[in-house]
Structure 1
Amino acid sequence: MVKYSSELKAEVVSEYLQGDISISLLSKKRNLPRIQVGRWIQNFRLSGADALKRRRVKRSFSVEFKVDVINYYQTHDENFSRSIRKI
């Protein structure tokens, strides 16, 4: 389930870029979290309109990549659970 539609994201970003409205005022006006509106604007600036669209394809990894990851953790001193906590 998508919480916010691509259309809503595009409208909010467009309104921010067109007007003299701050992120805080825009988020209050649209009843959206300020940090979320800021992320949409930042993503738009970095990657364009495609950043606002929902990805419909689930990422998949090849068997070779998965084996490489397992081998990496087996050959290095780091513990897998410690590595996860760092992220």
Structure 2
Amino acid sequence: MNLHLRIWRQENSRTPGQFMNYDLNGVSEDSSFLEMLDLLNQQLITEGKEPVAFDHDCREGICGTCSLMINGVAHGQDREKVKAVTACQLHM
């Protein structure tokens, strides 16, 4: 799969942020969202750019650390709102 990503980037809480656009090619449909972000970070590091920072821990949908806003929907530990789908359980 070839993906076009629009990701909010902000250096810290005191600086203004902005959306940045990224293209990522060759992503497997079996990849989780976090695995896709790992691929993007590998690409960014290879290009000498700052990787995308995101929290995660177990990557098994248990801890809820990988809470992300994806397409305007919050994914994470609030199991009532998203039917228990954490970002690590979301696949392409």
* Superposed pair shares fold, TM > 0.5: no
Question: So what's the TM-score if we normalise by structure 1?
Answer: 0.25
As a proportion of its length, which structure holds more helix? Answer: 1
As a proportion of its length, which structure holds more strand? Answer: 2
Question: So what's the TM-score if we normalise by structure 2?
Answer: 0.25
